[in-house]
């Protein structure tokens, strides 16, 4: 799935049968399942993730979302039949060698040196750029991406993208795709921000910005929010 003709959208953090039904109805291009990261409120046991993945419409590509995975975890994901692996945090050489499915490499915008290194690796199918504080629900300074050398791989924009700014994001950054999670979830009445509580993914050095002391499980995806943002992205014309 190299450079797309139309804008793509990935819905991340599916956790329930309802989430999968909504995704199978509204058909985002990719759907993400968080694995092996218990700090995340969207984390799933592998057996649960496999069951949900198998219920997903085959038009929607499945993505295993992991943080600094081990070789064993990569092998489990590949045996389970996920279409992509999305890697946050560190990517060890032996782990990279063990991967035999396309990689979506996630960065926060402070990791530009890592981005340059990843451009030399042929298993990288695309890049996902997030904010300095991943999962904060706040967009980063998109002008930072004007400094990077684009190649023919997919570039996804994440970090504080929602219905109110997604068109502006596509105009200003011209990404191949948009990656959203909390923006299509039910809002918690006791949580801050536009879209409620957030995950925290560590950067290359293993640091986890704004780490939550208590993990509160997500209430799941809001079908109306999901439908609207998918339509906005898929109907966008350059």
CA-closest candidate to residue 8, choices 110, 158, 218, 120: 158
Q: Is residue 229 a contact partner of residue 162, using CB atoms and an 8 Å limit?
A: yes
CA-closest candidate to residue 34, choices 125, 135, 138: 135
In terms of pTM, does the model score above 0.85?
A: yes
In angstroms, the CA 192 to CA 194 distance is 7
Write out pLDDT tens, residues 126-153: 999 987 665 556 788 898 887 788 899 9
In angstroms, the CA 174 to CA 150 distance is 11
Which CATH superfamily groups domain 8-234?
Aldolase class I (3.20.20.70)
* 129 Cα distance to chain centroid: 9
Write out pLDDT tens, residues 154-189: 999 999 999 999 999 999 999 999 999 999 999 865
């Amino acid at each position: 799935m190299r450079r797309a003709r139309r804008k793509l959208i990935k819905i991340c953090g599916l956790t329930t049968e309802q989430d999968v039904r909504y995704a199978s109805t509204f058909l985002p291009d990719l759907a993400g399942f968080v694995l092996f990261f218990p700090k995340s409120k969207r984390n799933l046991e592998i057996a649960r993730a496999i069951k949900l993945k198998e219920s997903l419409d085959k038009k929607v590509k499945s993505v295993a979302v992991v943080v600094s995975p081990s070789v064993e975890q990569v092998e489990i994901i590949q045996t389970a039949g996920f279409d992509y692996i999305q890697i946050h945090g560190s990517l060890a050489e032996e782990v990279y060698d063990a991967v035999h499915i396309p990689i979506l490499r996630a960065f926060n915008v402070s990791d530009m040196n890592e981005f340059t290194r990843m451009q030399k690796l042929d298993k990288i199918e695309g890049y996902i750029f997030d904010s300095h504080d991943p999962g904060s629900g706040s967009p980063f300074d998109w002008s930072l991406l004007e400094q990077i050398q684009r190649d023919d791989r997919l570039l996804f924009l994440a970090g504080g993208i929602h219905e109110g700014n997604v068109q502006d994001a596509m105009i200003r950054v011209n990404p191949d795709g948009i990656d959203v999670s909390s923006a299509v979830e039910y809002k918690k009445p006791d949580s801050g921000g536009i879209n409620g509580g957030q995950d925290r993914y560590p950067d290359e050095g293993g640091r986890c910005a704004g780490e939550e002391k208590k993990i509160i499980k997500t209430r799941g995806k809001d079908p109306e929010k999901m439908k609207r943002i998918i339509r906005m992205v898929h109907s966008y014309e350059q």
